[in-house]
Amino acid sequence: MSTDTNNNVRSRSENRSKRKKTNIILNGLIILVIALIVFVSYSIFKTKDDNNAEKQNNTNTAKTEETAASGDTAAQTDDDKASNTDDAEEDSTEQKDGDEVITDGGSDSNVIKTIENSSWESVGTAQTGEHTATYSEGVDWNEQVKALAYGTGIDESNMTVWFLGNNNHDPNKSIGTVSTKDKSQKYRVYIEWVDGSGWKPTKVEEIKDLNIR
């Protein structure tokens, strides 16, 4: 009887020990599974976050590069505009010296440059009474030639008058074509009559061909 009792006690003790070990193993497996689930979930979300961050960085980089490119283009456009404006101003006006303004071109394709000077004055006159322009040798003719020489800066003794006549049917305006005797300087000169003061130049055009008036 005693022996059977001992055996039963031992058997129950062994069974409890086995169950305890089994429970420990099962609990360990459960913990391991939970840990694996947590790790896998973390890895998935981490990968998504990294991908989103990379996409965001790429987007920001692209926007930054686009902004920089736009800035460069705008700066280049401003530079081009400024350069074109400077070129246009340089082309239209070569020189302004005091009251004298020199511009490229003129009234036609034969003109190299145009000279205007607000300080030009009348050359004086010996004529009295009502003025009538004369395009033949005489006092009025000589005073017109003097105005042509004054406007061009050519000495009368070195100047050849190729043409002198009325300008646009205005009795107080004339136009003349002159050159130095060696033809190195050729000009078309516009003059007008000022009552009591004589003829004065209003515009001088340097020209290429003397045969075109």
pLDDT in tens, 146-181: 999 999 999 999 999 999 999 999 999 999 999 999
> In Å, what is the CA distance from 80 to each residue of 73, 83, 89, 122?
10, 5, 14, 45
> 114 with 205: CB under 8 angstroms?
yes
Domain end (from 72, 92, 112): 92
pLDDT single digits (tens) 185-208: 999 999 999 999 999 999 999 999
Same domain for 83 and 66: yes
Residues 73 and 113 in one domain: no
| Same domain for 163 and 70 | no
User: Are 19 and 55 in a shared domain?
Assistant: yes
pLDDT given for residue 35 in this prediction:
85
> What's residue 21's pLDDT?
79
Q: Are residues 86 and 118 in the same domain?
A: no
What are 132-155's pLDDT values in tens digits?
999 999 999 999 999 999 999 999
**pLDDT tens-digit readout, 94-137:** 666 678 999 999 989 999 999 999 999 999 999 999 999 999 99
Enter the tokens of residue 146: 């003097």
Task: Please state whether the predicted TM-score (pTM) of the whole model is above 0.85.
Answer: no
The whole domain housing 110 covers 97-207
Greatest extent of the chain over all pairs of C-alpha atoms, in Å: 174
For residue 8, give both structure tokens. Answer: 């039963």
Q: Tell me if 213 is assigned to some domain.
A: no
What number of residues does the chain have?
A: 213
Counted domains in the chain: 2
The C-alpha atoms of residue 127 and residue 144 are separated, in whole angstroms, by 12
Evaluate whether 191 touches 168 at the Cβ level (below 8 Å).
Answer: no
At residue 99, the pLDDT reads 86
Residue 29 and residue 84 in one domain: yes
Tokens 């305006």 belong to residue: 173
Domain boundary among 27, 58, 92: 92
pLDDT band at 6; cut points 50, 70, 90: low
